[in-house]
């Protein structure tokens, strides 16, 4: 195992990942509806600043600005012919920032969903999805990414297609899904279902797997407990949103404080996660607090759901989607995918 993430996983009990990409870019002036990947070429200084935020805050791993960098997503901005260029540029800037850190920092090449529905329900075939992810993976690899980071996936078939693309590109990978619909992914997968799917992959399995985004930080930890209950030895990733989403002036706002995310980080580790970061709303200020808490808080037994709710707030749905009352609370149904 010679890749940078495997080395880090071997030498450390926990790894601090990064926080939000979208939140930071919007604060830098990105307009809703713009493709942030263009900034990898048009505004490299902003992307350097984006990456420096988590690195300076103490993150051991951060994601490239390439979440929507596949041909299907870029086509919405007439950028489908620039997949290789935009992904390579996003990874090159990341490589430069990571190598200047003075300590091992892993560059994780972000690959978000295609935004299309896979066959047979939709029109995107497995083969076409593999090809799309492979094209993106080659760009990220050429730019110097250490691993691919597949994220915010809802369909098992799309996760499997990204896994096949990683094999074609010959690069290790990690992959997280978003459990945003009453404890399940939008396509109905439960935490237990994801573990079964990951361990049954016919391709190279991920170095780590887990959950990102979803609804609130509490919900994400309930999903992590679901992973851990399956007894898989594979490292678990927890990248939860900063607190509980609230609608403010027509957009979703996360008001979780650094103190709350520090508590979340420690609970995530105690719940069984090894790679711990934030998603929407998580800023470098949150990451500093998370790192300090992980360094100074002794490990504790696996938290109960009551302990998680008491510290981070209640759950957005009554059940985690695995039991008989799955779907009883469908409040999250129909929510749209967002970028980290
Ligand atoms: Zn998010």
Let me know the angle formed at the C-alpha of 302 by 299 and 308, rounded to the nearest 5 degrees.
Answer: 105
Q: How far is the CA of 23 from the centre of ligand 1 (A)?
A: 9
Domain for residue 78, yes or no? yes
Q: How far is the CA of 337 from the centre of ligand 1 (A)?
A: 8
8 A C-beta contact, residue 217 and residue 256: yes
Q: How far is the CA of 2 from the centre of ligand 1 (A)?
A: 30
- Classify burial at 219, counting beta carbons within 10 Å of its beta carbon; exposed 0-12, middle 13-18, buried 19 or more: buried
**What is the rounded average pLDDT of the residues 17-23?**
93
Q: Which residues, 6+ apart, have CB-to-CB distance to 295 below 8 Å?
A: none
Q: How far is the CA of 282 from the centre of ligand 1 (A)?
A: 9
Domain for residue 198, yes or no? yes
Q: How far is the CA of 213 from the centre of ligand 1 (A)?
A: 4
Long-range contacts of 22-31 (CB under 8 A, 24+ apart): 22/67, 22/280, 22/338, 22/339, 22/340, 23/254, 23/280, 23/281, 23/282, 23/283, 24/50, 24/53, 24/283, 25/50, 25/65
**What is the rounded average pLDDT of the residues 231-257?**
89
Query: Is the model's pLDDT at 331 over the cut of 60?
Result: no
Strands 147-153 and 236-240: unpaired
| pLDDT on residue 321 | 86
> Binning pLDDT at 50, 70 and 90, where does residue 246 land?
confident
Domain for residue 325, yes or no? no
Q: How far is the CA of 112 from the centre of ligand 1 (A)?
A: 11
Let me know the angle formed at the C-alpha of 16 by 68 and 176, rounded to the nearest 5 degrees.
Answer: 40
pLDDT averaged over the chain?
93
8 A C-beta contact, residue 263 and residue 307: no
8 A C-beta contact, residue 339 and residue 68: yes
Query: Is the model's pLDDT at 10 over the cut of 60?
Result: yes
> Binning pLDDT at 50, 70 and 90, where does residue 19 land?
very high
Q: How far is the CA of 1 from the centre of ligand 1 (A)?
A: 30
Domain for residue 327, yes or no? no
| pLDDT on residue 221 | 97
Query: Is the model's pLDDT at 338 over the cut of 70?
Result: no
Chain length of the chain: 340
Q: Which residues of 33-69 are buried (b: 16+ CB within 10 A; e: fewer)?
A: eebbbbbbeebeebbeebbebbbebbbbbbbbbbbbb
Query: Is the model's pLDDT at 73 over the cut of 80?
Result: yes
Q: How far is the CA of 20 from the centre of ligand 1 (A)?
A: 7
Q: How far is the CA of 245 from the centre of ligand 1 (A)?
A: 10
| pLDDT on residue 310 | 96
**What is the rounded average pLDDT of the residues 72-83?**
97
For residues 328 and 303, give the distance between their C-alpha atoms in angstroms, rounded to a whole number: 24
Query: Is the model's pLDDT at 108 over the cut of 90?
Result: yes
Q: Which residues, 6+ apart, have CB-to-CB distance to 63 below 8 Å?
A: 17, 18, 21, 108, 109, 110, 149, 151, 340
- State the residue range of the domain holding 283: 4-316
- Classify burial at 99, counting beta carbons within 10 Å of its beta carbon; exposed 0-12, middle 13-18, buried 19 or more: exposed
DSSP-based three-state secondary structure for 184: strand
For residues 243 and 173, give the distance between their C-alpha atoms in angstroms, rounded to a whole number: 28
| pLDDT on residue 249 | 79
Number of domains observed in the structure of the chain: 1
Per-residue pLDDT tens digits for 172-214 = 999 999 999 999 999 999 999 999 999 999 999 999 999 999 9
Q: Which two tokens stand for residue 223?
A: 């999903």
Q: How far is the CA of 54 from the centre of ligand 1 (A)?
A: 16
| pLDDT on residue 1 | 59
Q: How far is the CA of 241 from the centre of ligand 1 (A)?
A: 6
For residues 149 and 209, give the distance between their C-alpha atoms in angstroms, rounded to a whole number: 10
Long-range contacts of 247-255 (CB under 8 A, 24+ apart): 252/280, 252/338, 253/281, 254/23, 254/280, 254/281, 254/282, 255/281
Q: Which CATH number fits the domain that encloses residue 258?
A: 3.20.20.330
Q: How far is the CA of 326 from the centre of ligand 1 (A)?
A: 23
Q: How far is the CA of 214 from the centre of ligand 1 (A)?
A: 7
**What is the rounded average pLDDT of the residues 286-308?**
98
For residues 21 and 261, give the distance between their C-alpha atoms in angstroms, rounded to a whole number: 16
Q: How far is the CA of 339 from the centre of ligand 1 (A)?
A: 6
Strands 245-248 and 251-254: antiparallel
> Binning pLDDT at 50, 70 and 90, where does residue 325 land?
very low
User: Taking the complete model, does pTM exceed 0.85, yes or no?
Assistant: yes
Q: How far is the CA of 22 from the centre of ligand 1 (A)?
A: 8
| pLDDT on residue 279 | 96
Distances, alpha carbon 333 to alpha carbons 82, 214, 340, in Å: 34, 11, 19
8 A C-beta contact, residue 99 and residue 51: no
């Amino acid at each position: 195992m010679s890749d940078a993430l495997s080395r880090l996983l071997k030498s450390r009990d926990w790894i601090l990942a990064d926080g939000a990409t979208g939140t930071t870019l919007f604060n830098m002036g990105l307009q809703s509806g713009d493709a942030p990947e263009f900034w990898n070429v048009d505004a490299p200084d902003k992307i350097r600043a984006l990456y420096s935020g988590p690195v300076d805050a103490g993150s051991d791993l951060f994601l490239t600005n390439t979440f929507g960098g596949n041909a299907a997503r870029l086509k919405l901005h007439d950028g489908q012919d620039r997949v290789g260029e935009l992904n390579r540029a996003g990874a090159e800037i990341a490589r430069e920032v990571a190598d200047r850190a003075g300590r091992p920092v892993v560059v994780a090449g972000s690959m978000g969903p295609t935004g299309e529905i896979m066959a047979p329900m939709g029109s995107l075939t497995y083969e076409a999805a593999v090809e799309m992810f492979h094209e993106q993976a080659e760009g990220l690899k050429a730019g110097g990414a250490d691993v691919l980071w597949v994220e915010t996936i809802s369909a098992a078939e799309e996760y499997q297609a990204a896994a096949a693309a990683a094999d074609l590109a010959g690069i290790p990978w990690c992959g997280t899904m978003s459990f945003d619909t009453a404890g399940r992914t939008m396509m109905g997968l439960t935490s237990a279902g994801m573990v079964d799917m990951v361990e049954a992959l016919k391709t190279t399995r991920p170095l780590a797997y887990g959950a990102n985004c979803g609804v609130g930080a509490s919900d994400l930890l309930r999903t992590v407990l679901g992973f851990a209950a399956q007894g898989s030895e594979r490292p678990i990733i927890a990248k939860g949103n900063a607190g509980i989403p609230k609608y403010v002036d027509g957009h979703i706002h996360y008001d979780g404080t650094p103190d709350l995310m520090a508590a979340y980080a420690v609970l995530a580790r105690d719940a069984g996660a090894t790679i711990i970061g934030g998603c929407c709303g998580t800023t470098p200020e949150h990451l500093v607090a998370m790192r300090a808490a992980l360094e100074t808080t002794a490990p504790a037994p696996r938290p109960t759901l009551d302990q998680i709710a008491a510290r981070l707030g209640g759950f957005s749905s009554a059940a985690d989607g695995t039991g008989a009352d799955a779907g009883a609370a469908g409040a999250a149904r129909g929510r749209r995918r967002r970028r980290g």
